[in-house]
Amino acid sequence: MVTKKIFLKNSDEVVTLLGKQDETLRRLEDLYNVQIFVRQGASTGEFSVVVRGPAGKVEKALAELDNMRSSNGEPARKDSPELKVLSPDPETVYVTYQGKRLKPRSANQQKYVEFARKYDLVIAIGPAGTGKTFLAVACALEALACGKVNRIVLTRPVVEAGEKLGFLPGDLYEKINPYLKPLYDAFYVMLGMERFRFLRDEETIEIIPLAYMRGRTMDNAFIILDEAQNTTPEQMKMFLTRMGSGSQMVITGDVTQIDLDKKQQSGLVAAEKILAAVEGIKIIRLSEEDVVRHILVKRIINAYENWTGNDNAR
């Protein structure tokens, strides 16, 4: 296995060369059985393409990329249907490594994606199954592919573990894996396990508990805070003030699933009230009408909302 790199002129060449949502890149990966990654230097801002795989196939993929650069992104091999550049589809948020197009499936989800593409801070509140986390990950990968950011940061409050996190076996990723599994699952669907692990190991995708974000400033990053209903107001304020230059944030949560001590106020509930009128911030509410999981999930949510029994059963 070898790894080689070529440098690109600017973000326009990235888009032209790789196609919308990296579609051309993935066709090259399938054709030559290599892995291809787009990078932007944190300090220099230079764009590069990294190709990894068997030596001979890496050379062929690099030659194909060079040919495409000289022909404004058109595949040099006109007889190869796998390399056909597809026309842009504005409804598609991201194309998975298996070629599946991910699109919003309700009007509210469409609005959510539009907000995430346009605004630097978006808060999405809604019940389970409404695509809050999944669409946030898709929008983050879209921003990374288009060169809007050069890394993705994922965080979540580790409420259940509390101070016991340090006593769990394994390294940091293994300790927090049970709590960040929904985020992992979304990346596995979109990138595949191997590509996700490569990006994680290179810290293009960074996964950390919320407590580890104190004192940091996140520049040129797409930052996702998941399960935000389990933050305290102090934690939420700390998180919001981590945003650096060129970054954007998406905060997701379900206010009907707060696991904090009853004496503590949810940071998500407070943020919705405090930030409602702040310019440049968008808050969207999703409902059972936006549930895209099994049809029974929507019925279960409705049944619980209409139940007049013991509230503690929630």
pLDDT at 307: 83
**Can you give the pLDDT at residue 113?**
95
- Evaluate if pTM is beyond 0.85: no
Residue 142 identity: E
CA angle 305, 109, 107 (to 5 degrees): 90
Going by C-beta distance under 8 Å and a sequence separation of 6 or more, which residues neighbour residue 287?
A: 108, 126, 127, 130
pLDDT tens, residue order, the chain (314 aa): 678 888 877 777 777 777 766 777 777 887 777 888 887 776 667 788 888 887 778 888 888 887 777 666 544 443 333 333 333 567 889 888 888 889 998 999 999 999 999 999 999 999 888 989 999 999 999 888 877 888 999 998 876 544 345 555 566 666 666 767 777 888 999 988 888 888 888 788 988 888 888 888 899 999 999 999 999 999 999 999 999 999 999 999 999 888 887 657 899 999 999 999 999 999 999 988 887 666 676 677 778 777 866 555 44
Q: What is the pLDDT of residue 305?
A: 75
- Within the chain, strands assigned E span 2-8, 35-40, 47-53, 94-95, 101-102, 121-125, 151-156, 205-209, 221-225, 248-253, 281-285
The residue type found at 161 is A
pLDDT of residue 163: 39
Query: What is the Cα Rg of the chain in Å?
Result: 21
**What are the tokens at 52?**
């990894």
- CATH number attached to the domain at 2-83: 3.30.1370.10
Query: What CATH code is assigned to 112-313?
Result: 3.40.50.300
CA angle 121, 148, 201 (to 5 degrees): 95
Segments making up each domain of the chain, as ranges: 2-83, 112-313
What pLDDT is recorded for position 251? 97
Say what the pLDDT of residue 286 is. Answer: 92
- At residue 100, φ and ψ (nearest 5 deg) are -80, 130
pLDDT score at 81 = 35
